[in-house]
Structure 1
Amino acid sequence: MMFWLAIPVTVLFYLLTRKLARRWHNLLINPILIPALLVIGLLLATNTDPSEYEAGVKPLSLLLELTVVAFALPLYQQAAKIRSRLKPILLCCGLSVVISVGTTLLIGGIIHADHSLLASVSTKSITTPLAMSVSESMGGIPAIAAGLVIIVGMMGAITGFPILRLAGINHPEAQGLAMGASAHAIGTGAAAEAGNVQGAFASLAMVVCGVMTALLAPPLFYLYLWLTG
């Protein structure tokens, strides 16, 4: 039964949450977080196998791939701005990756975290397929990496812009870079809703940080292993 209800239920939960978000403007009423929690609750209440629900929403999953490709449109629209600021953009994305991976390893070293867990957590700020692949190459657990990516993305989409405004960061390009670098595709979606400029720079940061993490995370991780013996 859930196979046939999966798409209608998912769409209904999403539309209801969007309507509530427009009415109350509460950070916790997030169109990604709330529907996900409702679907989890429904599956638990009905004792439904998650694989049945996953099979039912397969068409939506295929549309998601097209949606990610559509992020290229704001990139094209802002191409001139991006070219004129390419060096500082690359520098900011590089520093973001080093800080993200470095702080993870530093905290992990302080609390003596398991190496496989550290390898899984280190890729938390890039999109799911890359995070799973890179973490696995370092001996991590892809499932944990994927779960953390989703959690980080949701947290970024909910709290990203309020934190940026609180810090006095109101420039749309800076906001976009921060959202894409820290909250990958989910944060990029939130940035695209804020404006075309934010969406374009978030898309760019998501791609650049993904590539840089794939290049920098393994050497940093193995350097950590060497230093900690």
Structure 2
Amino acid sequence: MSRKLTAEFIGTLWLVLGGCGSAVLAAAFPQVGIGLLGVSFAFGLTVLTMAYTIGHVSGCHLNPAVTLGLVAAGKFNASEAPGYIVAQVLGAIAAGAILFLIASGKPGFEIGGFASNGFGDLSPGKYGLMAAFLCEVVMTAFFLVVICGATSARAPAGFAPIAIGLCLTLIHLVSIPVTNTSVNPARSTGVAIFAGGDYIAQLWLFWVAPILGAVLGGVVHKVLEGDAALAPAPAE
């Protein structure tokens, strides 16, 4: 179990450092910034690379919502979920700390939103609470449907990381303007604790909505797959 938790810690650290790091350090860099498209691909690439690296160790959840969604889908043991979630959150916070130390090395550094998620005035597009909540629920639900389907025993072997990484990229392309894209409570927590203030006050939504969406996605997968959905994913 310790190997699995270590893998989840390292993998989630990489997810937040790569994804949020691209947003904080590279998205708006003068003349050569990677922009929304680049940040979207950065998040997808972190999952893709870690899925091939630690998928055979822990299943590469990197996300409390994914862990609970897989429990709902019958693909993960509920008794292991608390340890996974703690490891993921700690990995995200460690990544936030590393990113803060790097970013604060620039003269005149101001933390701002620090790639945090938000709604209302904290939403990149000023989307309200209900729009943000619905977006996070729906995007996370589809993320779980893709994860469960791509890792099914009946799916083509070896391609799951590609499908899952590209799905996360697509999710970011759609929802960055709405919430700055969470679909992952650990990712949201890891940077919000450094941004502080209202970002902490709104963090509840980025736990509740992704978990609700993930459980919904897991249930949908069970309906789609029938009895086959009860077979554990190969990466588990």
Structure-1-length-normalised TM-score: 0.36
Greater helix proportion: 1
* Structure whose CA Rg is larger: 1
Structure with more contact order per residue of length (Cα contacts < 8 Å, sep ≥ 6): 2
Structure-2-length-normalised TM-score: 0.36
